[in-house]
Structure 1
Amino acid sequence: MPTPDFILDLRRKIGTDMLWLPGVTAVVRRDDEILLVQRSDNRMWTPITGIVDPGEQPATAAAREAKEETGVDISVDRLASVGATTPMAYPNGDQAVYMDHTFSCTWVSGEAYVADDESMDVGWFRVEDLPEMHHELRARIDAALSGEIAARFTAP
């Protein structure tokens, strides 16, 4: 899914200045595998991520992003962690920081495929064979797989 219209509207007003946005990460499990997407912008493998639309519940956004990016239906089982991301700058100069809500999720149905232009590949990976990824993303996966009942809160 391309950049949401509400973000484009904000960017017309503030340019590339820093935006503080709500985000979600869906760590989708199927038995002992995790569903990952390979981003088309930087070719890195990541769990499913996205922006929460205005008025949308974060758990609903996680399920929506999974469907939009990979074509699979999931159950959102629990909130695994909450924390601000490292500030980032995109190739076009846009800057953002996300308040990420990571959810531990379970695959329900559907064959995973590249369902939008944000990804170039999707795949199921055994937990012990995950590809290299940014440490913040790996920490989100670890929180989702921890089995902990309470959510983790990222410390400063």
Structure 2
Amino acid sequence: MYGGPVPIPDFVLRLREKVGHDLLWLPGVTAVVLHRDEVLLVRRSDNGRWAPVTGIVDPGEHPAHTAVREVTEETGVSCRVEALVWVNVTDPTVHANGDHAQYLDHTFRCRYVDGAAHVADDESVEVGWFPVTDLPPMDPALVERIRAAVEHSGPVRLAVAGA
């Protein structure tokens, strides 16, 4: 059921033709979509784990537009960005196909506008709303992104190692 590949953006495929599996530094987004006291989550098709909607920023695309686009593409939900709440560098990762990547993550707090949440592409196998106080098991880094969005007030949180 899980373990299928997540689609790779065309521009990344073109880069991979040149660099193979070497480490790529990519801009990414996490869209924490809130509605009342719930957060929108997807169960990823590649690993079966729950997560907020995430995605890679296309060349020339503003990260806030990426967040809105990815939410619509993956869940059928329309949202609006309320705030950039956290900028962080992820640990390097090795994807199932052997590609090495590291992401500059922009976590956005988004607000639900309309639409019925459903699986809208092949990146997830399930979509649902969860109380922010009762999240399903997920990567602690993703829980921290949700917490940053829910608790956000004031300036953007910058995660700087060693500073």
Calculate the TM-score normalised by the size of structure 2: 0.94
- Cα deviation, 1:119-143, whole Å, max 9, x if unaligned, reads 0000000011101111111111111
Separation in structure 1 between the aligned mates of residue 15 and residue 84 of structure 2, nearest angstrom: 28
Code of the residue aligned with 1:103 in structure 2: it is: F
Give yes or no for the alignment of 1:55 onto 2:54. no
Residue 133 of structure 2 is aligned with which of 98, 114, 128?
A: 128
Residue 10 of structure 2 is aligned with which of 1, 5, 10?
A: 5
Residue 102 of structure 1 is aligned with which of 107, 113, 126?
A: 107
Code of the residue aligned with 2:8 in structure 1: it is: T
Deviation at 1:104, TM superposition (A): 0.4
Separation in structure 2 between the aligned mates of residue 133 and residue 153 of structure 1, nearest angstrom: 22
Aligned residues: 156
The equivalent residue for 1:66 is: 71
The equivalent residue for 1:85 is: 90
- Cα deviation, 1:90-133, whole Å, max 9, x if unaligned, reads 11100100000000000000001101111000000001110111
The equivalent residue for 1:143 is: 148
Give yes or no for the alignment of 1:20 onto 2:25. yes
Give me the CA root mean square deviation. 0.9
Code of the residue aligned with 1:65 in structure 2: it is: E
Separation in structure 1 between the aligned mates of residue 74 and residue 155 of structure 2, nearest angstrom: 28
Deviation at 1:147, TM superposition (A): 2.9
Question: Structure 1 stretches (4+) deviating beyond 6 angstroms?
Answer: none
The equivalent residue for 1:42 is: 47
Q: Which runs of 5+ in 2 are unaligned?
A: 1-5
Q: Which runs of 5+ in 1 are unaligned?
A: none
Deviation at 1:155, TM superposition (A): 2.7
What percentage of aligned pairs have identical amino acids?
56
| Greater CA drift, 60-69 or 141-150 | 141-150
